[in-house]
Amino acid sequence: MRSPRTPRRSRTRSSSSPAPSAPRSASGRWRAPRASRGRRRRTPCSACTRASSATTCRLRRGREVVTLRLFALGDSLTEGVADVWSNDLLTPFPGYLARALRAGGTDVVAGSAAWRGADANDGATRQAAQACAFRPDVAVLWLGLNDVLRLGFDAAAVGEELTGTARRLRAGGAALLTATMPLPDDVLALPGWSVRRLSARVQALNAAVETLAAESGSLHLDVGRTVERVGRARMLGPDGIHFTAAGHHAVAVDYLELLCRAGIASGQAPPEPPSVTLSRRDRATWYVTRGTGYAVRRAVLRAEETPAISPPDQERQGLAN
């Protein structure tokens, strides 16, 4: 005997019924609902995690590559002039720094607006404009010594121009590399009475740069300590102001250490170049035959008389390799 038929359930789906299956594509394959299809997120590489936020990450064939843009603002010290008489060019410390960063796996794009005779005003106008157009991640700011050599030196005005330049660079996201210079009576082979006034001016410039460094949070280097470590005879050229090849190398190594400590980049110090050690007699001879005439010319040179020199290219600056 058949059991009575149970009534059919209503086709109205209750709230607890499962949701209908997702629609299929034209090929008949199952396709997840649009809401559940998220975009593939790209996680930063470990090199980007170690580097600063200003540094750009690029991936090349599976290798982690950090691209860092390095730009130098400065005068003859940053340009790599060997001495004020010959104007021979050496590889400057920004060039050695670029090589050291490349040796550590950092892809460096380098440029420079530094040239001999540049002062703080040139840095605040022409060089700052070129630097902002370059959009550096790290910027070298070495200016003010040519202002010290002029009769109308105003430490407050120079400090304001340097601070304005630093603020423009920081607004663009650049980390700054600044430095204070050794006093002339510590490095120049001249009697103390002859450089006393010049030393007072350098002290005022160093105070302005230290204030700038504290405000901008720059990576700051005391070049006087570098001279003590390397030795004046090996680090400074015949004029006692400009660096030898060993001096540029030493400054680059010190800046590389600061960049590594800050976590901005890593690198390996390049091989130290051969250097010439000058005696006090060599320096005294240079001052008598060449240095005196240069000092007189620089003391009376005015800003409007400064020739308009176009910035040298990267090959000349030693930044390209």
**Residue 259 near residue 218 (C-beta atoms within 8 A):** no
Residue 49: both structure tokens together: 């995690």
Nearest one of 229, 252, 287, 248 to 77, comparing CA atoms: 248
Least confident span in 44-58, 203-217, 255-269: 44-58
Least confident span in 24-33, 172-181, 228-237: 24-33
Q: What pLDDT score does 62 carry?
A: 40
Residue 88: both structure tokens together: 């021979």
Q: What pLDDT score does 84 carry?
A: 64
Q: Is the dihedral of CA 110, 116, 120, 121 positive or negative?
A: negative
Site of tokens 């250490």: 257
Each residue's pLDDT tens digit, 157-212: 999 999 999 999 999 999 999 999 988 765 565 556 667 888 889 999 999 999 99
Residue 82 has pLDDT above 60, yes or no: yes
Domain 70-306 top-level CATH class: alpha beta
312 DSSP 8-state letter: P
Q: What pLDDT score does 274 carry?
A: 79
Residue 34 has pLDDT above 90, yes or no: no
Q: What pLDDT score does 193 carry?
A: 62
pLDDT band at 46 (very low <50, low <70, confident <90, very high): very low
Q: What pLDDT score does 38 carry?
A: 41
Determine the distance from the C-alpha atom of residue 80 to the mean position of all C-alpha atoms in its chain, rounded to a whole number.
15
Nearest one of 46, 310, 290, 305 to 152, comparing CA atoms: 305
Residue 92 has pLDDT above 80, yes or no: yes
Q: What is the C-alpha separation between 94 and 321, in angstroms, rounded? A: 11
Residue 153 exposure: Cα atoms within 13 Å on the Cβ side: 22
Compute and round to an integer the Cα radius of gyration of the chain: 30
pLDDT band at 5 (very low <50, low <70, confident <90, very high): low
Q: What is the C-alpha separation between 228 and 240, in angstroms, rounded? A: 14
Q: What pLDDT score does 60 carry?
A: 36
Residue 12 has pLDDT above 60, yes or no: no
Annotated domain spans of the chain: 70-306
Least confident span in 40-49, 80-89, 177-186, 236-245: 40-49
Q: What is the C-alpha separation between 267 and 100, in angstroms, rounded? A: 5
Beta carbons within 8 Å of 90's beta carbon, 6+ residues apart: 80, 81, 82, 243, 244, 245, 248, 318
Q: Got the DSSP string for 8-57?
A: PPPSSPPTTSPPPPPPB-TTS-B---GGG-PPPP-PPPHHHHHS-TTSEE
3-state secondary structure of 105: coil
Residue 269 has pLDDT above 80, yes or no: yes
If one compares 3 and 283, the residue with the highest pLDDT of the two is 283
Q: Over range 108-129, report the average pLDDT.
A: 94
pLDDT band at 91 (very low <50, low <70, confident <90, very high): very high
If one compares 24 and 127, the residue with the highest pLDDT of the two is 127
Least confident span in 70-74, 154-158, 188-192, 246-250: 188-192
Mean pLDDT, the chain, whole residue set = 76
User: Which helix H or strand E contains 174, and what residues bound it?
Assistant: none
Residue 134 has pLDDT above 80, yes or no: yes
Output the pTM of the full model.
0.72
Q: What pLDDT score does 237 carry?
A: 80
Least confident span in 27-36, 109-118, 181-190, 204-213: 27-36
Q: What pLDDT score does 116 carry?
A: 86
If one compares 177 and 52, the residue with the highest pLDDT of the two is 177
Neighbours of 194 (CB within 10 A): 12
User: Which helix H or strand E contains 271, and what residues bound it?
Assistant: none
Residue 214 has pLDDT above 80, yes or no: yes
Each residue's pLDDT tens digit, 307-321: 444 444 444 445 655
